[in-house]
Amino acid sequence: MPKDGFKSYALNEKLYDFWKNEYENNKENLKISGISSFSSYITSLLTESMNKTPPNSNDSLMSMIYLKDDLLGIQDNIQNCVIDLLIKNGKITCLVDNKDDCVHVGFAYSIPIVNKLLNKKN
């Protein structure tokens, strides 16, 4: 159980592994920034994401938040959440819907930098 004032969150195993690896690889630099645990790292990522693209701050339904290696983050302003997608073997898979044909994947294909990445890998 989390402490008072905190909530727990279930994270998809692939996402957990990806971000845990990022944390471990950057642990020393993160400590300099005051980030001393994996949970504070995840909190900082979410805070940064929300500061970059506050929910419903514009009229767009979705916007790209980050593209790191094979992981793409999209702000879904309808569901008011960040959606992670995996780009692998020339395909995009939504890690929330566990599909390769949902609206998030469709939006991802419309992002020029994503298409450039897909074409480079093919």
For residue 2, the 8-state DSSP code is P
Q: Is residue 6 part of a domain?
A: no
Find, among 58, 35, 61, 36, the residue nearest to 48 by Cα: 35
Q: What is the pLDDT of residue 56?
A: 47
Instruction: Provide mean pLDDT across the span 1-12.
Output: 78
Domain that holds residue 80: 56-122
- If asked whether residues 47 and 66 sit together in one domain, one would say no
Token pair belonging to 109 = 């294909």
Instruction: Provide mean pLDDT across the span 67-96.
Output: 91
Q: What is the pLDDT of residue 122?
A: 57
d(CA 104, CA 84): 9
- If asked whether residues 62 and 87 sit together in one domain, one would say yes
- If asked whether residues 100 and 83 sit together in one domain, one would say yes
- If asked whether residues 17 and 76 sit together in one domain, one would say no
pLDDT-derived band at 28 (thresholds 50, 70, 90) equals: very high
